[in-house]
A = this chain, B = another copy of it.
Amino acid sequence: MANEQGLKIAVIGGGSSYTPELVEGFILHHAELPVRELWLVDIEPGQRKLNIVGNLAKRMVEKSGLPIEIHLTLDRREAIKGADFVSTQMRVGMLDARGRDESIPLKYGVIGQETTGPGGMMKALRTIPVLLDICRDIEELAPNAWLLNFTNPAGMVTEAILKYSNVKSIGLCNAPIGLIKQTSAKYGVEADRIYAEFVGLNHLHWITRIDVSGEDKLDEMLADTASYSAKNVPAREWNPEFLQSLHALPSYYLKYFYMTDAMLEEQLESLQKGGNRAEVVKRVEEELFELYNDPELKDKPKQLEQRGGAFYSEAAVNLMRSLYNGTNDIQTLNVANQGIIEFLPDDASIEVNCVVTKTGPLPLQLTKVPPMAVGLIHAVKTYERLAIDAAVTGDRGLAIQALAHHPLVPSVEVAIQMLDEMLEANKEYLPQFFTESTANA
C-alpha cells in the first residue's frame, strides 16, 4: 500500500445496487482512507447497471469535491492491476439463479434459502470457481492487495480462497455490525463501548457475551425474544425457555435450523403467494436503479438501507480504514480458524472477533463456547468443507456427500434427487461438473 498519491480500489461486481453506499463511505472517510482511484468492474450482462451506478458514483464524488477518480470497466485485469484493495459483491447466475436456489429445495420439503442449505450449496458451486479465477488475477497483478469478500456464502467462499489461493482475503458479513448497531441504539452508547463475542461460522453464530460499557447485558438481550433480527430472514420469535437455557443469542439464520418446520411452512406459503425472496429483491433492485438513474441524484438514496444488506459497505470501509491505518480496533470477520474453535481444522473459516492490525486481522480467543452449539457448528462445517472441495473439483461423489450430510437434508435419497435437479438447472454455471470425464459419472 505504498502509492503516495492514494489508494487504488477495485470493486468486482461494481454494478451492484450496494455500490452507492460504498462510495458514500469512501467520501466520508477520505481523510483516513485516501482513495485515489475507484474501479468498478462488471461483466457484460451487467453493463447497463454498471453505467447507471457508475454515473451516480461520479456525481457523488463530484459533489464532494474530493480527488477520487471513478473508472468503469469490463476489463477485470485492468481494474485489479496494482490495486490496494479488491472487494467482491457478485452473484454468479444473477437473481434468476437465486430464484432456483430458493425454489427447487422446496419441492423436496427442504428449506430453500440463498446461503443456508441446498440453495447455499448451489451458490457456492457456482461462485467459488469464479472467485478463484479472480484470485489468480490478484496473485499475478496485485499480490499485496487485500481481498474483501462479501460474496455469499461468504464463509465458504473465504475458506475456498484461504485453501486454494495465496491471496490475503477476509470475509465480511453485515450481521455482526448490525447487532452492534442495534445494541448501541437500545442502550444509547457508542458502538466502541460494546463488546459482543461471536462464536461460530458465517450465518451460523451464537453471541455469548454482550458487554455494554463493561456490563454483560446478555441476559437482558435474551429476554427480548424478537431482538437481533434482519429484513431478509422471517421475523419469528424465539421460544423463551429455549433461549434462556441456551445462554446465548443465536444468529437469525439459525432459525432455519431451530425452527425448520415453521420456516419451511412460511417459505411454502410465500411461494404460493407468488414470490420467493429472489423475486422481492428483484423488484426492490429495479426500483433502486430507477432512482439511481435520476441525473439529479447526487447522494446515496435512503431507500437503499431497506435492502437486507444494510451496513455491508460500512463494514467494508471500516475494515479498509483499519487495515490501512493499523488502528488495532476490533471487528467481527471471517478468517482462518487457526485453533480458535479447537475442534475445527486450522484452515476452516470462522466468524470471529479480530484485532485489525496493519498486517491483517488477529483473531481473539473465545471466552465462552456454548456446549449446545458445538455439534451443529461442526456438522455445518463438515458440509461446507465437502461442498468447497466439490466446487473446486467437480466431483459428484463429494457433492452427494456434502448435501447428504447437511443437517437440513432429511435423507441420502432426497439429497441425490435434489442434487440431480439442481445441477441440471445450473448446468450453464457448473462446467466443472459437466466436462466429459465426469458427465456420465
Q: Which residue numbers of A lie inside 8 Å of B, CB to CB?
A: 1, 192-193, 195, 209, 211, 213-214, 216, 239, 241-242, 244-246, 258-262, 326, 328-330, 338-340, 342-344, 355, 357-359, 362-365, 367, 371-372, 374-376, 378-383, 385-386, 396-398, 400-401, 404-405, 407, 410-414, 416
Contacts and interface: CB of A to CB of B under 8 A. Distances in A.
A376 B374 CA distance: 11
Nearest to A379: B375
Nearest to A258: B412
A213 B355 CA distance: 15
Number of copies: 4
B372 A386 contact: yes
Given A245-B398, A378-B375, A416-B241, A362 B364 contact: yes
A357 B211 contact: yes
Given A398-B245, A401-B246, A363 B365 contact: yes
Given A209-B359, A214-B359, A261-B414, 20 more contacts: A1-B214, A195-B326, A195-B357, A195-B359, A211-B357, A214-B326, A216-B359, A242-B401, A242-B416, A245-B400, A246-B401, A328-B330, A339-B339, A339-B365, A355-B355, A364-B364, A364-B365, A372-B401, A375-B375, A376-B382
A375 B371 contact: no
A359 B262 contact: no
Interface centre among A192, A216, A246, A329 (most CB of B within 10 A): A246
6 contacts: A211-B358, A214-B359, A244-B397, A338-B365, A362-B364, A378-B378
